[in-house]
A = this chain, B = another copy of it.
Amino acid sequence: MKLGIIGLGLIGGSLGLALRSRSHYVIGISRHEETCALAIQKGIVDEASVDFSVLSAVEVIFICTPIGAIIPTVEQLKPILSPDTILTDVGSVKAPIVEAMTPLWSNFIGGHPMAGTAQQGIEAAQLDLFTGTKYVLTPTENTPVEAQKTLTAIVQDLGTELITCSPETHDQTVAWISHLPVFVSSSLIASCVQETDREVVTLAQKLASSGFRDTSRVGGGNPELGVMMAKSNQKAVLRSLRIYRQQLDKMIHAIEEEDWEQVERMLGETREARSLFTTKK
């Protein structure tokens, strides 16, 4: 098939490599001429341009821009495309995007490939980034059946495990497993910073080891990414944060009351429960 990719960063670039390796013809779009040249040079795309008009005849377009640019991109793109072009995005939040897209472009399915690396940008693009990962599609009752079928086939052909759910289910799920951990972890670091005893601070920095390192890792990540999560998934993130605070309060209360049986029961339950989230990898 003839496919388009808008935004040639880590995800767009890796998609290009993977799709071309499956014999698709890939046209890439970047805002920067140098990125276009690099994408061709690295074999990520067959052609590349800064101009949307090259996409007029493609069958499916993957919009791989940052979340905030998805809707403006489609508004710009709209006059160029034939109505049977299928659009999809790779944003990590789905409900607001699907909602804004519905009046704009009917032949659209929200998507979220659950893949990534610590590196960003076209230089980090990898042929096998998606192999063995999960790829979420969030069709609604308005999604054309043919569009869903076509996209499903392309995505599964990349060696991904396809998961289909509603945009709302997706967003509450990522609030729990991806967004809440960021704010929980960030608050851990923020609280240590409040320590006023300089000797304790110095010693803590010296003695912190794997437990602290792991628990604080995602809280030490890219602040723009964290803001994007809170902003675009505000409702679900706040719901998770409030339930989290209740559980934290329950633990604080048990320790205050010296109810050690209760503390042990709670920790026993979380040990059990954690295995459900970590054994299917």
Interface residues, chain A, CB within 8 Å of chain B?
Answer: 114, 134, 136, 163, 165, 169-170, 172-174, 176-178, 180-195, 197, 199-200, 203-209, 211-224, 226-227, 230-231, 234, 237-238, 240-252, 255-256, 258, 260, 263-264, 266-271, 273-278, 280-281
Contacts and interface: CB of A to CB of B under 8 A. Distances in A.
A139 to B, nearest CB: 15
B173 A200 contact: yes
Contact of A247 (B169, B190, B273, B276): B190
B189 A280 contact: no
Nearest to A197: B172
A270 B183 CA distance: 10
Contacts of A244: 187-188, 191, 248
Nearest to A274: B220
7 contacts: A114-B209, A173-B200, A176-B192, A184-B185, A194-B247, A220-B271, A238-B252
* Copies of this protein in the complex: 2
Contacts of A215: 181, 184-185, 214-215, 217-218
Contacts of A191: 176, 180, 240, 243-244, 246-247
A181 B246 CA distance: 17
A212 B172 contact: no
A223 B267 contact: yes
A217 B220 contact: no
B206 A280 contact: yes
Nearest to A195: B176
Given A263-B227, A267-B223, A211 B187 contact: no
Contact of A220 (B170, B174, B242, B270): B270
Contacts of A208: 177, 277-278
A189 B270 contact: yes
A194 B269 CA distance: 12
Given A213-B278, A234-B258, A183 B248 contact: yes
Nearest to A171: B200
Given A192-B277, A207-B163, A243-B194, A186 B267 contact: yes
A266 B190 contact: yes
Among the interface residues A177, A185, A231, A238, which one has the most CB atoms of the partner chain B within 10 A? A177
B260 A163 contact: no
Contacts of A169: 197, 199-200, 203
Contacts of A220: 270-271, 274-275, 278
